[in-house]
Structure 1
Amino acid sequence: MGANHDDHHHAPDGHDRALRLGVGGPVGSGKTALVAALCRTLGRSLSLGVVTNDIYTTEDADFLRRAGVLDQERILAVETGCCPHTAIRDDIAANLDAVETLEHRFGPLDLVIVESGGDNLTATFSRGLADRQIFVLDVSGGDKVPRKGGPGVTTADLLVINKTDLASMVGADLGVMARDAAAVRGERPVLFTSIRQDPTAATVATWVANEVWSWPQPHHPAPAA
């Protein structure tokens, strides 16, 4: 698998396309930093594209381009002009157009990451846009946030609790967060990380690589380390 891979990916809906991963979460939780880390780590073995969402700017896309995590042409920006959840859940046309543009230009791709604009705990992606969803929280909101629930926290395929290095500074108990997240999520996985301390986001990247590896396709390469 990778940029020179010639096989098509056969999705359950009958389309040959990449796995589409939605990344959502509140403002400042570290979504863009996580996307950058995933691009750095997985871009060595997978062919990637990224779509970012901002209401009136292209700030997140510009950050990723400046960081040099992918070829700039593989990063597209959507200016939603409305609440972020609208463009990822209710009216997904602009995001679908951007995803399909990347697939047309650079396909076959292995993975397309769609980053939502900063939203609240209710934010979820339409399954017409994202096949898998990551929801990102950070500890600065306090250890009570996971037990507040909300569709983003409870239904995402993976919950990432970021900025664990700040826990002692804000009085957040990571054990409480883990307990409460498990209570509202059941068997769905939760990962704790600090992208400042681990710029590769290794545990999250491994989860994503395994999802790509298990996505229906003719050949199944070993997941990235």
Structure 2
Amino acid sequence: MHLDHSDPAVLSDQGPGALGADAPRPGGGRRALRIGLGGPVGSGKTATVAALCRALRDSLSLAVVTNDIYTREDADFLLREAVLPPERIRAVETGACPHTAIRDDISANLEALEDLEESVGPLDLLLVESGGDNLTATFSRGLVDAQVFVIDVAAGDDIPRKGGPGITLSDLLVINKTDLAPYVGSDVERMARDAVARRGELPVVLTSLKAPDGVAPVAQWVRGRLAALAA
């Protein structure tokens, strides 16, 4: 297992540079970097988005698109938490399995992203949160430039071994809620080893959003993608 000693929560810090975000804005200039966050129900996607907004909003211009099947629950949570001004948060109601709107028919999400770029831009970063889905959920590369997959220790420490595209192919894998491991009988170190074995050089981070600055390794990775794009 490769450990990044600059941050003990980062298990591997390799992986591809930012993809495709050099596409121009309609009015000229480079559009925002688009990062998708997916994962099973209850893994902590919305909490991760909220924490990222708090960590990055003072230094970056960003906005968020959320996906729910029939409600605006995730967007409403972000609005209640006041992580961004209301005009920087959009909700998409997919009306079907969450992967449909992030991988198959991405038109509703694309419209929301383009509307945000036009109405509150220029933006540095756009976060797209998927509705809760299974381990096969992936984002279309026509929708996002990079994707984060969030799992949690409470779902079982065998999740990384089960694999699936979300585990093996996402640009960043987040193992969340590590603070719960003693209470649910999960072996976090084994989860980390299994994840690295499945993913090779693709990065894996451990997070506990209850800890001060617990989202730091994810925010660090996002800044790295932006730096790669700027370079």
State TM-score, norm by structure 2.
Answer: 0.87
Provide the residue aligned with 1:37 in structure 2. 51
String of CA shifts for 1:144-177, please: whole Å, max 9, x gaps.
0001000001000000000000001111111110
Provide the residue aligned with 2:169 in structure 1. 155
- Unmatched tracts of structure 1, length 5 or more: 1-9, 221-225
Provide the residue aligned with 1:4 in structure 2. none
Partner letter of residue 171 of structure 1? G
After TM superposition, give the deviation of residue 23 of structure 1 in Å.
0.2
- Indicate if the aligned counterparts of 1:40 and 1:200 stay in contact, CA closer than 8 A: no
Query: Does 1:64 pair with 2:78?
Result: yes
Provide the residue aligned with 2:134 in structure 1. 120
String of CA shifts for 1:80-114, please: whole Å, max 9, x gaps.
00000000000000000000000001111000000
Q: Secondary structure at the match of 1:118?
A: coil
- Indicate if the aligned counterparts of 2:24 and 2:31 stay in contact, CA closer than 8 A: no
Provide the residue aligned with 1:23 in structure 2. 37
Q: Secondary structure at the match of 1:161?
A: strand
Provide the residue aligned with 1:135 in structure 2. 149
Provide the residue aligned with 1:5 in structure 2. none
Provide the residue aligned with 1:55 in structure 2. 69
RMSD of aligned residue pairs (Cα, Å): 1.3
* Counterparts of residues 1-225 of structure 1 (less than 5 Å): 11-15=21-25, 16-198=30-212, 201-215=215-229, 217=230
Partner letter of residue 78 of structure 1? V
Cα distance in structure 2, aligned partners of 1:198 and 1:136: 19
- Unmatched tracts of structure 2, length 5 or more: 1-19
**Which runs of at least 4 in structure 1 moved beyond 4 Å after TM superposition?**
none
- Indicate if the aligned counterparts of 1:38 and 1:200 stay in contact, CA closer than 8 A: no
Cα distance in structure 1, aligned partners of 2:175 and 2:129: 16
Identity %: 66
